[in-house]
Amino acid sequence: MKILGIETSSPLFSLCINEDEKTLYEIRKNRLADEKSRDALFFAEAKRLIGHFGRENIGAIAMSIGPGMFTSLRVGLGLAKGLALAQHIPIVAVNTLDVIGLSVAFLEHRVLATINAYHQEIYAALYENGRRLTEYLLTTPSAVEKLIKHKTMVIGSGVDVFLSDRSGFKSEKLQFVTDEHLLPTATKVVIIALPQIQSGQFDAPEDLEPFYIKKTDAERNYDKTNAL
């Protein structure tokens, strides 16, 4: 079965076509590289990729649902929903923190998967041996001190938030890894979604919404303006 993978939680968008666990093709585009036509280029690449392999040959869609950048997640979800509804392709949505944390289950230490939530905040979840140990969190580097009890590798785009301010937490238990190969990609999305796809546990596309955790800046400003 050919599976279309979609990852748009960050400015680095990626698309792939997998034959189960084998990657046939993957493309990555920096959404911020061309501000004028950034999303148009992404949809053009998606059209080209799907056209090459044939829509009729795509048996499932795997996409990351967030948390991540608000607008970017909407772009990926729009593509996934459009294809799923128009072409009757089943879809599985997976949490982006799981994509980061579960894809390194081979590591011997615990892993804190992180995503930059901006405003000195991070999205985070703790993993060990392929299991998630915590809820999906919106937190800060200083608050992580209470969460971490053992030596832990910190990976993902949230590492930059830690490194920008080390004053609020104990760093002796944390090992920061900035390798870009540990960031979420479309291929990793497919790998994490594969068990659900193989067992037929699909999501209803009309019910899917981005997993945000926190409110957008517009929502925050609205709450402040309309506060009693």
Boundaries of domain holding 14: 2-95+183-217
Q: Do 138 and 125 share a structural domain?
A: yes
Cβ contacts of residue 136 below 8 Å, gap of 6+? 67, 95, 97, 123, 124, 125, 211, 213
Shared-domain flag, residues 89 and 135 = no
The verdict on 43 and 8 lying in the same domain is: yes
Number of domains in the chain: 2
Q: Could you tell me if residue 222 is inside a domain? A: no
Residues 81 and 106 in one domain: no
CATH (domain of 49)? 3.30.420.40
pLDDT in tens, 155-184: 999 999 988 865 555 568 899 998 888 999
44-70: average pLDDT? 91
Q: How does residue 37 score in pLDDT terms, banded at 50, 70 and 90?
A: low
Residue 218: per-residue pLDDT:
44
Is residue 68 assigned to a domain? Answer: yes
Rounded-to-integer distance, Cα 132 and Cα 173, Å: 19
In a domain, 225, yes or no: no
Give CA–CA dist 155/116, Å, rounded. Answer: 11
- Bond before 67 cis per omega within 30 degrees: yes
Q: What is the pTM of this model?
A: 0.89
Alpha helices in 61-178 (DSSP H): 70-87, 96-102, 141-147, 159-164
Collapsed DSSP state (helix, strand, coil) of residue 202 = coil
pLDDT at residue 11 greater than cutoff 50: yes
The tens digit of pLDDT for each residue in 128-163 reads 999 999 999 999 988 887 788 889 999 999 999 988
Q: Are residues 115 and 49 in the same domain?
A: no
